[in-house]
Amino acid sequence: MNQSAGTSVDDFLSGRVQVVQPEKGFRAGTDSVLLAAALKASLRGEALEIGCGAGGALLPAAWRLPEARFTGLEKSLPMAALAVEGVGINNLQDRVAIVEGDAGAVPQDWQNRFDLVFSNPPFFEAGSIQQPGEGKDGAYLESISLKDWLSAMLFCVRPRGCIVMIHRASDLARILGVLERRAGEITVLPIRSYPGADAKRVLIKARKGLRPGPLRLLAGLDLYDARGGERTQELRAIASDGLGIDW
C-alpha cells in the first residue's frame, strides 16, 4: 500500500499498531490512547467509534479487543481515507470498516445496533476559542452540540449496551445532564496531569436504558509523576504495553 503524501506512519502501543496521520493538522495522542484503553477487552460483538479520525483510538481498540468487530464513522473524507490506510497496514480488514458520515446524521438502521459505542468528541463550541490551526477544525470545534453527539451515541448503542467517551472535565455537568435521564451505571474516571493537579479530562462510561443509580466517581489517573516529570507506571503500561484501564 502506498502511503499518502503529507502523512506519517506513527507507532502506537510500542509499534503494535501503526496509524497513518497528517503531518500537519490534528494528530492523535494521549486522549486517543486512553479512550482505547478504557474499553473492556473481553467484548464480543459490534463496536462503533463516532468521529474516528485517522484511527488513533479505533485501531488500538481493535488490537486490544480481538473478538469484536469495529465500525469507524468519520465525516472528513481525507481523514476517513487515512483510517482506511491504517486498517490495511494493520491487517484488520476482516474486523474494521470505515464509513464516511456525520455524527448529526447517523444511518437510521444503526439504531440499537452496537454493543459498544465510544468517542472523543470535539471539545469546543464554535466561536468559544481562537480558530484552530490548519486541519484541526473538525477535531476541536463542535459541528453539532455535545448533547446531540451524546444522543447519537445513545441512538446507536443497543439497550443495556455501553458507551464510553473522553472529554474535558469542565464539561462533565453537561454530559451527566444528558446521561442521567437515559442511562445507568455511570462511572467517571478523572484524568490528571500529575498528582494534586486539577483533572483536565474525564473518562465516562454508562449503560443505555438502565435505571438511574448512584454515580461512581473514581480516584482518578495521573499521567506524570510530577509537574514536568516522567510518565507514571500506569500510563507507560497503557501507552507502551497496551494494557487496559481497570475501572
Q: pLDDT tens, 5-59? A: 789 999 999 999 999 999 988 899 999 999 999 999 999 999 999 999 999 999 9
List pLDDT tens digits, range 165-216. 999 999 999 999 999 999 999 999 999 999 999 999 999 999 999 988 899 9
Query: What DSSP designation does 13 have?
Result: T
CA-CA-CA-CA dihedral for 100, 105, 110, 116, to nearest 10: 80
Lowest mean pLDDT among 57-61, 95-99, 140-144: 140-144
> Exposed, middle or buried, 20 (CB in 10 Å: 0-12/13-18/19+)?
buried
Cβ atoms within 10 Å, residue 170 = 13
What is the Cα–Cα distance from 53 to 26, expressed in whole angstroms? Answer: 9
